Each structure stands twice: as structure tokens, then as C-alpha cells.
């Protein structure tokens, strides 16, 4: 029984940092040059949420719904499922998020966000688009392991949380639940990878 004391939390992770890196590299190679289009689209969504949040809300939610459908199918269902059995559940959550976002496009906009909440949301969205992709290169992992909103789960979750905070929405907290949970899981897995 004492051998249980020798285990670290990272020992329970199903994949290695090398496997994770190869997953991201494969994604970038397979999808090139989609990264450029996705980055420009994300920048346009962020700009629309900043300049005309009430007018842009439906369009932003619709594009986010498509992004989450892609994350459910490609990132979780196709790629991560090869190295993690939990990916099936994450794919289900991402698919549900896509449905919730799509359904919310039919709702009238809610009250405007508090200015501080709106500013925090825009800052989170900008961080997901501009800073999050720099994490991998700053760790010496190279650009092919960079994570981008719309293509990888954690960056998409942070970007979504930011935009949901910035837009005038009725059911904001319902829409925040799944990306918040998936981001928490993703950050925990990233922390465990760093421990290895």
C-alpha cells in the first residue's frame, strides 16, 4: 500500500507532453493555412464585440457555435480521443455548448454588461487571441504547438468566455458553464503535463 505514496498527480494523466505536442503539430499541419483565416475571423469577432456589441451579438454567437461544433468533432472527437478516453465526454460538452450558442442566437439581446465586466471580457478575448498562442513558443515548444481560438479547445474556451462577458446576453451564466468547466479541465491537464 505504501507504493501509492510514490504516485504524483501527473502519473494519472493518460498521455505524455510529447504526445500532446504531436497532437498539436498534426493539427497545424493538417489545417494549414486555416490558422490565418481563423485568426482573422477571431479578430473580427473581437472587434465587433468591442465596437457594436448589441448589433454583433447574434453573429458572434453563431460563429462561436460553429467553432464549438468544430472543437467537438475535430479537436476532442478526432484528435484528443486518440490519446485520452475522457475526450468523448469533452466532445459531448463541446457539442452541447455549440447547441446552446446556436439556440441563443434566436434570443433578443439582454442588458448591457457592466463596463468592468465588458472590459474584462474583451481583455480575456484578446488574451486568448494574442497571448495564448505565444505560450508554447515561450516554453521552447515551437509555433506548431501554439493553441488558437477556433482550432484548439482551451484557447476557444477562453475566447468564448471573454466574448460572452462582453456581449449583452440574457442567459450569460448558462452559456459560461461549459467553456468554464472545459477550460478548468484543460488547464489542469496542462499543469499536469508541466509536472512530468
Distance CA 55, CA 46 (A): 13
Cα–Cα nearest to 46, from 142, 118, 147:
118
State residue 110 phi and psi, 5-degree precision. -90, -160
| Secondary structure class of 7 (helix, strand, coil) | coil
Lowest mean pLDDT segment, chosen from 11-20, 39-48, 56-65: 11-20
Show the cell assigned to 73. Answer: 468533432
Supply the pTM of this predicted model: 0.92
**pLDDT reported for residue 140:** 83
Query: Do the Cβ atoms of 88 and 81 come closer than 8 Å?
Result: yes
Show the cell assigned to 149. Answer: 481560438
**pLDDT reported for residue 186:** 93
Show the cell assigned to 151. Answer: 482550432
Amino acid at each position: 500500500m505504501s507504493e501509492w505514496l510514490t504516485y504524483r498527480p501527473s502519473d494519472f494523466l493518460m498521455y505524455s507532453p510529447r504526445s500532446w505536442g504531436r497532437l498539436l503539430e498534426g493539427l497545424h499541419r493538417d489545417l494549414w493555412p486555416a490558422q490565418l483565416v481563423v485568426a482573422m475571423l477571431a479578430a473580427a469577432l473581437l472587434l465587433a464585440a468591442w465596437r457594436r456589441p448589441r448589433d454583433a451579438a447574434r453573429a458572434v454567437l453563431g460563429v462561436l457555435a460553429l467553432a464549438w461544433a468544430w472543437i467537438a468533432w475535430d479537436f476532442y472527437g478526432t484528435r484528443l480521443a486518440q490519446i485520452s478516453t475522457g475526450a468523448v465526454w469533452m466532445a459531448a460538452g463541446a457539442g452541447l455548448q455549440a447547441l446552446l450558442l446556436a439556440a441563443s442566437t434566436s434570443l433578443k439581446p439582454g442588458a448591457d454588461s457592466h463596463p468592468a465586466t465588458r472590459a474584462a471580457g474583451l481583455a480575456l478575448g484578446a488574451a486568448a487571441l494574442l497571448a495564448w498562442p505565444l505560450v508554447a513558443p515561450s516554453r521552447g515548444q515551437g509555433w506548431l504547438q501554439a493553441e488558437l481560438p477556433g482550432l484548439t479547445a482551451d484557447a476557444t474556451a477562453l475566447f468564448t468566455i471573454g466574448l460572452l462577458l462582453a456581449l449583452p446576453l440574457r442567459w450569460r451564466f448558462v452559456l459560461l458553464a461549459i467553456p468554464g468547466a472545459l477550460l478548468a479541465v484543460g488547464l489542469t491537464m496542462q499543469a499536469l503535463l508541466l509536472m512530468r
